[in-house]
Amino acid sequence: MIPEGSLLIAEDLHKTYAHTPALAGACFSIHPGEVVAVLGPSGSGKSTLLHCLAGIVQPDAGRVRYAGRDLTALSDAERSALRRTDFGFVFQFGQLVPELSCTENVALPLRLAGIRRKAAEQVAMEWLERLEVADSGSKRPGEISGGQGQRVAVARALVTSPRVVFADEPTGALDSYSGERVMELLTEAARSSNAAVVLVTHETRVAAYSDREIVVRDGRTRDPDHSL
Amino acid sequence: MSIGHTLLALLESGPRHGYDLKRAFDEKFGHDRPLHYGQVYSTMSRLLKNGLVEVDGIEAGGGPDRKRYAITEAGITDVATWLTQPEKPEPYLQSTLYTKVVIALLTGRSAAALLDTQRAEHLRLMRVLTDRKRRGDLADQLICDHALFHLEADLRWLELTSTRLDRLAAEVRP
Ligand SMILES: Nc1ncnc2c1ncn2[C@@H]1O[C@H](COP(=O)(O)OP(=O)(O)O)[C@@H](O)[C@H]1O
Ligand SMILES: [Mg+2]
């Protein structure tokens, strides 16, 4: 059942919040460097699936395996260490620290990994340049547009060379033109550093930037290529 | 697409031979479907008969596409009228997909699976167009966006329908 060569695999995940079932048998797998879209209507369990895959939320039942390790069996401390070294995150908004400049924001994950300020900011500036927001480096998140902010967030997600980037509605707060530009830059940058991307979205035009899609409905996944 | 009006409009910048018209058309509008010489020839003879173009010269050697065409005053007016008139919006009321969904429900087959398969197929095409768009020039981007917006609309309908299958089943089954 387990796809050959997968980096991240989830089997039969279940999660209930209070009395709300969020996941009721969700499966997932992704290869290194692959971009997989997670589609589905609002409330279907996409974000919960992403949180379980990233080790942010513990499923009630089912397993998540990453690079051969059972994520669900790790301690909280081990999981958060893994998140810092191996995963990157892009959310819809609100992920940048408002008091820091954009360069400092992008450098932050490197600083947390023990890299000196100057070296970290040097790398951060290179990433801002790649994402075409070099001009925003000295500004604070509140001083730039939504589209620029998401590019800064993408830079921050990729700066540690993660093996998986988790993006939850990364274009959800943007107009369609800047949203597509963010998707172009995100997928290009991820491909060139061989990072896999788990892309949660309800927009099919955004999903079209993926290599493959899965559909979540009522907490259950359906892989369209295996549905019949 | 109205090939006649398009070829006519291409003559507004000056007289051209048939093969030159075909080349200009293919370059700007023929992305996926270049014109056949036969189409150019038959279109030009119709325009000629209707007085919208005239023969401006004939190259030595003879033959149908040796003619050089020029637009007439009537032709210019015809192009202007064409541009002023709005295109009829597609009503989209005859949908094979809708029919398939109803037939699936009526015959006890899985309408949900049918919709899933269709979604996957639409997304496959959207990926191809998205890829072409990111590598193409502005003309490519606009052509692909037009198609992508339509496919997206189809997908929204698929999604909405898949949430209403139970109700639809209750209505269509006797
Ligand atoms: N932290 C939470 N507490 C309570 N209910 C939650 C929580 N997170 C999600 N849910 C519920 O779980 C279901 C799935 O939510 P979510 O995974 O956010 O869906 P999606 O991202 O597809 O919109 C919804 O009914 C939602 O209200
Ligand atoms: Mg969500």
pLDDT tens, residue by residue, A7-40: 999 999 999 999 999 999 999 999 999 999 999 9
- Do A176 and A150 have their domain in common? no
The whole-angstrom separation of Cα B86 and Cα B31 is: 24
The tens digit of pLDDT for each residue in A86-127 reads 999 999 988 999 999 999 999 999 999 999 999 999 999 999
In contact, A22 and A48? CB cutoff 8 Å: yes
Looking at CA atoms only, how far is residue B133 from chain A in angstroms? 11
pLDDT at B91: 84
Q: What H or E segment, with its residue span, contains residue A225? A: none
> What residue numbers bound the domain in which A58 lies?
1-86+164-228
Please give the full DSSP string across A104-137, using - where no structure is assigned: HHHHHHHHHTT--HHHHHHHHHHHHHHTT-GGGT
- Do A33 and A81 have their domain in common? yes
- Do A42 and A145 have their domain in common? no
Tell me which chain B residues have a C-beta less than 8 angstroms from the C-beta of A184.
134
> If you ran DSSP here, which 8-state letter would residue B32 be given?
S
pLDDT over 70 (residue A169): yes
The whole-angstrom separation of Cα B166 and Cα B155 is: 19
- Do A140 and A212 have their domain in common? no
- Do A146 and A175 have their domain in common? no
- Do A132 and A182 have their domain in common? no
Number of helical H runs and strand E runs in chain B: 8, 3
CB distance from B127 to chain A under 8 Å?
Answer: yes
pTM tops 0.80, yes or no: yes
Pick from A213, A145, A215, A141: nearest CA to A182: A145
| CATH number assigned to the domain comprising residue A35 | 3.40.50.300
Q: What H or E segment, with its residue span, contains residue B5? A: helix B3-10
Per the document, the length of chain A is 228
Closest residue by Cα to atom 4, ligand 1, is A17
- The band of B32, judged by pLDDT with boundaries at 50, 70 and 90, is confident
- Do A117 and A8 have their domain in common? no
Identify which of B122, B134, B148 has the shortest CB distance to residue A184: B134
Closest residue by Cα to atom 14, ligand 1, is A45
State the distance from the centre of ligand 2 to the C-alpha of A47, rounded, in angstroms: 4
- Do A65 and A173 have their domain in common? yes
CB distance from B151 to chain A under 8 Å?
Answer: yes
In a domain, A93, yes or no: no
- Do A128 and A204 have their domain in common? no
Paired sense of beta strands A212-217 and A20-30, if any: unpaired
Total domains in the fold of chain A: 2
CATH of domain B3-84: 1.10.10.10
In contact, A89 and A157? CB cutoff 8 Å: yes
The residue ranges of every structural domain in chain B are 3-84, 96-172
In a domain, A221, yes or no: yes
Among B residues 155-174, those touching chain A with beta carbons less than 8 Å apart = 155-156, 159, 163
Per the document, the length of chain B is 174
The tens digit of pLDDT for each residue in B102-157 reads 999 999 999 999 999 999 999 999 999 999 999 999 999 999 999 999 999 999 99
Ligand 1 pocket test: pick from A15, A39, A42, A47 the residue with the most ligand atoms within 8 Å of its Cβ.
A47
Ligand nearest to the CA of A39: 1
User: Tokens 């919040």 label which residue?
Assistant: A17
Give the distance between the most distant pair of CA atoms in chain A. Answer: 55
pLDDT at A154: 96
- Do A22 and A2 have their domain in common? yes
